[in-house]
Amino acid sequence: MISELQMMKRKLAKLNQALGFQRSHSTKQKVKIISSKSINDENGRGGDHLSMIIARTRSNPLDLSTIDALTLEEDANYNSWVVEHPSALDSFDRMMKASKGKKIAVFLDYDGTLSPIVDDPNRAFMSDEMRAAVREVAKCFPTAIISGRSREKVKEFVQLGNVYYAGSHGMDIMAPPRPVKACDGKNHTIVQGKKASEALFQPAKKYLPAIKEIITELEEETRKIQGARVEDNRFCVSVHFRQVREEDYNILQEKVKSVVKNYPEFHLSEGKMVMEIRPSIEWDKGHALEYLLDTLGLSNSKDVLPLYIGDDRTDEDAFKVIERRGQGYPIIVSSIPKETRASYSLHDPSEVLSFLLRLAKWRKSSSSCRPLTQIWGI
């Protein structure tokens, strides 16, 4: 049985981890701040419950009883949020019952969903268990990964041949070459992919030269800021500040803004400890989801239930599309309460893994898992 002291220690460890604290050497078990950056893992800068805690702790180091009270408050907030956004694991049977006779199509975000958030974006590896789970899910349902990363990069991480990939927040999609309504229009180019059964859809292609220029300028401007990192996501750019000292953040932000302001066709947004620069076209993860449904021949069917799992702000665009369709399962991955259009929640990538395993198992037990070509005619 876990003793009260052990429980307390666990809570302390959990809070310390979330806040970036380390235990001080004091015998009174006070804690001290070593970094406040991890506080923003969930929501970017400020605004959430943990940020309030950290603001309070700046002047008053916490003792165990205060931490305990704050942790309880945090747990209570989370629990009431989960009532509004029920756990997809707890709701699994109900969700699957409602999907009887309907077709599920699975859409997955990558960072923070299939892989845990880590300091080094190049080391955001997905576990072998997660890969195996996605592979099994993709054997049973049409499955796509929609990421902010470049399509090549996310494919390199995922290493699966039986899923579709959309990179650059949906601005770079490799999908089946079906006639598509959504892509009519002057901004959209369709290029045949390597396999005859796939076509490449890149609605922001004309911005590539400007993106290259932006990357060069950002690298030059941010070179001297320790920890800043520019990531080329092909049709968009990320400037990471997870490893930037707090006192340098404003300088970095100003430098990034000063570059972006010279490119009126681009805009700046924020994700988890990252600034993202994207062409201002009407295309996001929500459009990518619709596009993929369309190319899969699933857009018009009232019997199709898109299931989307994601953790970040850009995933909200996909949640919105599912909400508008009135059918499907938008699932947010979050360990803290946050504003979302998702109906369901999962706490972290380990719960995503459990959910995917259960989904594949459910499908296999409810019908034989035939090749997708037979199930969907693709």
- Give the active site residues: 109
46: left (phi over 0), alpha (psi -120 to 50) or beta: left
* Least CB distance to ligand L263DTV3 at residue 323 (A): 19
> Per-residue string for binding with ligand L263DTV3, 141-160, x by CB under 6 A?
------xxx-----------
Q: Between 108 and 183, name the residue whose CB sits nearer to ligand L263DTV3.
A: 108
* Least CB distance to ligand L263DTV3 at residue 121 (A): 3
118 part of the interface to ligand L263DTV3, by CB under 6 A: yes
340 part of the interface to ligand L263DTV3, by CB under 6 A: no
Tell me which stretch binds ligand L263DTV3 (CB under 6 A): 113-121, 174-182, 193-201, 292-300: 113-121
316 part of the interface to ligand L263DTV3, by CB under 6 A: no
CA 372 to chain centre: 26
222 part of the interface to ligand L263DTV3, by CB under 6 A: no
The one among 43, 71, 233, 295 contacting ligand L263DTV3 by CB under 6 A? 233
DSSP string, 163-209: SEEEEGGGTEEEE-----STT-STT--EEE-SSTT-EEE-TTGGGHH
Residues 191, 172: Cα–Cα separation, whole Å:
11
Tell me which stretch binds ligand L263DTV3 (CB under 6 A): 64-72, 133-141, 257-265, 273-281: 273-281
SS3 306: strand
Q: Please list every residue from 295 through 314 that binds ligand L263DTV3, using CB under 6 A.
A: 312, 314
**249 neighbors 239 (Cβ within 8 angstroms):** no
Compute how many residues bind ligand L263DTV3; rule: CB under 6 A. 24
Q: Which pairs from 91-100 meet CB under 8 Å and 24+ separation?
A: 91/344, 92/355, 92/358, 92/362, 95/329, 95/344, 96/362, 96/366, 99/305
Residues 67, 70: Cα–Cα separation, whole Å:
5
244 part of the interface to ligand L263DTV3, by CB under 6 A: no
272 part of the interface to ligand L263DTV3, by CB under 6 A: yes
Amino acid at 228: A
Name the token pair of 205.
């292609």
CA 17 to chain centre: 20
The one among 176, 203, 271, 286 contacting ligand L263DTV3 by CB under 6 A? 271
DSSP summary character for residue 101: T
Residues 239, 20: Cα–Cα separation, whole Å:
21
The one among 43, 238, 334, 335 contacting ligand L263DTV3 by CB under 6 A? 238
111 part of the interface to ligand L263DTV3, by CB under 6 A: yes
Chain residues binding ligand L263DTV3 by CB under 6 A are 109-112, 117-119, 121, 124, 147-149, 231, 233, 238, 240, 242, 271-274, 276, 312, 314
